[in-house]
Structure 1
């Protein structure tokens, strides 16, 4: 199954949903950042949520950033996605190792512990919109459910899951976001709450070969499901040597001259995709000249 997001509505548009399969997105992040199993699960969940939330954006140039700052050993997570569900992200400490939880699962909650979730939406206004909530569990899906209710006043159910193989590669990843519209009836709300409470897990359904559409039909089928659009999603970073060069130039002539005096190549790393860019001493000299010309 290729990575994609499906969106649609149910109950005569009283409910809207986004459901995703993201195995390749999460596996690419794991390879790029060499994440430990628990970091793969944490980052994979946030990448999946970010891709779905990016696909909610209305305008092509819109960007959404999900940032978690936390006291747990993972240190924090940052994910950015665009309206085409291109997504990228990283963990502050990708090599964090923890024993399994009491249930024998990867202990994402312990990896994050206490912290704050910030959602930044850059939708072409003068200032990006920013909403912030405290982490309620560190399990990410519950934290996003709380964010939507507290910051955007939208009753929402978020489910996210990453399942690993024994060799620590990604076996399955995916999730869904189900939201109630303001005019949703109490009858629909209570029936859906019951369905979601009985729902086992995203990964158990993916392991059974179920697709995002199958999962939405199981949860929402009795309300009448309409699938509107399927969007491919992928791990994608827009960094380049030219962009990184501009960042180096921005540090100023004195800093660049100090690098030149060292007489060694410098290596600059992109946080999001872990690509390394090398600049020779000659390239640094040309950059120093550009800072002069820019004055």
Structure 2
């Protein structure tokens, strides 16, 4: 089953919901960055939450998420858009701890329990929205839940999960976001809370083959959910040689000429996908000419 995401409403419009399978997407990030299991879980959870937040946007709008805790993983950066494209990287991909008291990957120890979750929404036409909340647990899901409540005043439940194989590849990854709409009835809230307390971890559901639709049915009740739309989800980077060329132009003539004299070439690497772009002496001279023309 390819990765995809669904949008839904439930309880006659009292709730909006998102669910996604991201196993292949997170596996692509794991391969590119050679992340160890704890980091894979942290990065995968962050990418899963971010791609669902991207699905809340429209058109060409984009979102950037930065999770900056005091743990050894360091900052986690994620970009996502309204089309199901997501990319991400971590500062230190090689972090390891023993399993926690529950016998699970100790994501909290890797991320840290102090720091900030910052979300910047690029709504186009230079219209930017930025929100920031403190990290409350370092488990990622709880941190996004807190962000929604405090920064967007949207009572939410965020469930995220990543299972890692012994060879470090990704066995299962995905998540859900449940949001209460204004005027949501107490009886509805009580039923959702009861169901949330009884469900399996979302990663276990995906390991068993649950679709995003079935995840929402498990969380909200099949009779209560109405799926509105779905879209594919994938690791997709927007980098290109043209973009890096524009960035080099932004350095100015003097710095480019220094590159030519000292190295005779330049190489740039994308943080998100680790693709490398080489610029020969002739290409750098062409950039100088472009500036001067």
TM-score range, shorter chain: over 0.9
Give the whole-Å Cα distance in 2 for the aligned partners of 1:142 and 1:264: 50
Give the whole-Å Cα distance in 2 for the aligned partners of 1:143 and 1:258: 45
CA shift at 1:290, angstroms?
Answer: 2.0
Give the whole-Å Cα distance in 1 for the aligned partners of 2:267 and 2:106: 34
CA shift at 1:94, angstroms?
Answer: 1.6
2:231 aligned partner: 231
CA shift at 1:102, angstroms?
Answer: 2.1
Give the whole-Å Cα distance in 1 for the aligned partners of 2:217 and 2:132: 32
CA shift at 1:288, angstroms?
Answer: 2.0
Give the whole-Å Cα distance in 2 for the aligned partners of 1:24 and 1:194: 31
With normalisation by structure 2, the TM-score equals 0.96
Which secondary structure state, in structure 1, belongs to the residue aligned with residue 28 of structure 2?
helix
Give the unaligned 5+ runs of structure 1: none
CA shift at 1:124, angstroms?
Answer: 2.3
Q: Spell out, residue by residue over 1:163-221, the C-alpha distance to the aligned partner (whole angstroms, 9 max, x if none).
A: 11111101110000001101110111111112112222001112222222112112211
With normalisation by structure 1, the TM-score equals 0.95
1:99 aligned partner: 98
2:76 aligned partner: 77
Give the whole-Å Cα distance in 2 for the aligned partners of 1:220 and 1:194: 10
Give the whole-Å Cα distance in 2 for the aligned partners of 1:22 and 1:206: 9
1:33 counterpart = 2:33: yes
Give the whole-Å Cα distance in 2 for the aligned partners of 1:70 and 1:267: 30
CA contact (8 A) 2:199 2:218 kept: no
Which sits farther off after the overlay, 274-283 or 119-128? Answer: 119-128
Give the whole-Å Cα distance in 2 for the aligned partners of 1:238 and 1:222: 38
Give the whole-Å Cα distance in 2 for the aligned partners of 1:275 and 1:152: 35
Give the unaligned 5+ runs of structure 2: none
1:62 aligned partner: 61
Query: How is 1:175-214 mapped onto 2 (pairs within 5 angstroms)?
Result: 175-214=175-214
1:119 aligned partner: 119
Give me the CA root mean square deviation: 1.3
How many pairs align? 292
1:270 counterpart = 2:250: no
2:156 aligned partner: 156
1:108 counterpart = 2:128: no
1:144 aligned partner: 144
